[in-house]
Structure 1
Amino acid sequence: MPTASAARSLTRDDWLDAAMSAMAHGGVRGIRVEPLAKAMRTSKGSFYWHFRDRADLIEATLERWEQLETDRVIEVVESTSHPRERLRRLLAIAHRQDARRPDPSVALTGDHDDELVRVVLERVTARRIGFVAEQLVAQGIAPEEAARRATLAYTSYLGYAALVRSAPGALPADRSVQRYIESVLTVLVSATTEHRGDG
């Protein structure tokens, strides 16, 4: 059993931070106790002070990811009064990532066969798309159209996140990111055009 001194050397949050970073690059398959301990220059004894086993760490890491990168982001964005400004702020936060710390969403899609990952991914995806759709409905867009646009926005975001990992040079440079965000926002909130036949 690990000693009290081992417990003090690294906290539970230290392990979760390291696991979050590993998950961002390799999904839950990247969360392995021995490599994490080696990277943090500690023994596995510290790990077992805070977690029962690897499955416990994975569950806690997924929970932390959902809280930090979905629940807390929505909470921050909701402090903005106007729905269009909420979307602008959300897009700015969502596109504030780089190759050193990409959104784990992309890596986690490779773990869809894991039941826990699948459940969390489905919940996070529904929450994110639902929040965007709510902001569009608040601007007068019909619910069905808002749902389609919100899905478009999220799939576009996942593509952006994938490029952060695989081809960051293809993405807008720092000064162009804001213009990119404004382009996405324009597409999201533009008036619906209905095409009708001649008869």
Structure 2
Amino acid sequence: MGVTRTPRERWVEEGLRALARGGPEAVRVEVLAQALGVTKGGFYGYFRNREALLAEMLDTWERTVTDGVIERVEGEGGDARARLGRLFTIVAKIGDGPVTGVAVDLAIREWARRDEAVARRLRRVDERRMAYLRSLYAAFCPDPEDVEVRAFVSFTLRIGYHLVDVGHEGRSRAEVMELTRDWLLR
């Protein structure tokens, strides 16, 4: 009877969880193995070293928050407004995922402040996200300035939504988000 190995993806996801909790310094093989309830020997069956894991974590994050999201949005078709509405719904639902969560996104943004290679990767991801938003808004907004503003507001709302703690004059946050969505899709 063979030994069951911890799947590679579990190491990556646990690494992303650790990153979200404490930055890249928190991504340590021993800590990940303990969190997974395994020995660290299995780690080296998949990764040369910690740097290889960090690179794969970034690859997984990038692929998931760009291609993965775009494929889900495009997969059901519809006009640009319908696809934007679906994008908003998908992004709201995946906000706390181990790979797609806002905490991971914010941790990568903080990491990028100290690591130029991560900063380049983050710029590439942000440009891809903005390009996709622009393409959707451009389908029904004839004014390029309107397209840019809507894309920028949509994107920054995704990043900053969880950082703002304010009341909404008798409305719930969900109600304000629905109003924002309606405004962006008009």
Question: What is the rounded CA distance, in whole Å, between the counterparts of 2:124 and 2:27 in structure 1?
Answer: 21
Structure 1 residues 26 and 85, CA gap change in structure 2 (3 angstroms): farther
Question: What is the rounded CA distance, in whole Å, between the counterparts of 2:122 and 2:109 in structure 1?
Answer: 8
SS of the residue corresponding to residue 93 of structure 2 reads coil
**Counterpart among 89, 92, 95 of residue 92 in structure 2:** 95
TM-score (norm 2): 0.82
Question: What is the rounded CA distance, in whole Å, between the counterparts of 2:97 and 2:62 in structure 1?
Answer: 19
Structure 1 residues 99 and 81, CA gap change in structure 2 (3 angstroms): closer
Structure 1 residues 70 and 11, CA gap change in structure 2 (3 angstroms): same
**Corresponding pairs, count:** 177
AA in 2 matched with 1:81: G
Q: Percent identity between the aligned chains?
A: 31
Question: What is the rounded CA distance, in whole Å, between the counterparts of 1:187 and 1:32 in structure 2?
Answer: 44
Q: Which residue of 2 aligns with 1:73?
A: 69
The CA deviation at 1:78 is: 1.3
- Runs of 5+ in structure 2 lacking a partner? none
Structure 1 residues 47 and 106, CA gap change in structure 2 (3 angstroms): same
- The answer to whether residue 135 in structure 2 is matched with residue 138 in structure 1 is no
AA in 2 matched with 1:20: L
What do residues 83-105 of structure 1 show as CA deviations (whole Å, max 9, x unaligned)? 01111111111112566753211
AA in 2 matched with 1:149: R
The CA deviation at 1:21 is: 1.9
- The answer to whether residue 124 in structure 2 is matched with residue 110 in structure 1 is no
**Counterpart among 44, 52, 56 of residue 56 in structure 1:** 52
Instruction: Single out whichever of 81-90 and 21-30 deviates more from structure 2.
Output: 21-30
Structure 1 residues 91 and 10, CA gap change in structure 2 (3 angstroms): same
The CA deviation at 1:116 is: 2.7
The CA deviation at 1:142 is: 2.1
The CA deviation at 1:137 is: 0.5
Question: What is the rounded CA distance, in whole Å, between the counterparts of 1:48 and 1:184 in structure 2?
Answer: 47
Question: What is the rounded CA distance, in whole Å, between the counterparts of 2:86 and 2:15 in structure 1?
Answer: 27
Instruction: Single out whichever of 66-75 and 92-101 deviates more from structure 2.
Output: 92-101
Native 8 Å contact 2:141 2:147 kept in 1: no
The CA deviation at 1:33 is: 1.3
Question: What is the rounded CA distance, in whole Å, between the counterparts of 2:11 and 2:150 in structure 1?
Answer: 38
Question: What is the rounded CA distance, in whole Å, between the counterparts of 2:84 and 2:13 in structure 1?
Answer: 28
Structure 1 residues 153 and 100, CA gap change in structure 2 (3 angstroms): closer
Q: Which residue of 1 aligns with 2:80?
A: 83
TM-score (norm 1): 0.77
The CA deviation at 1:181 is: 4.1
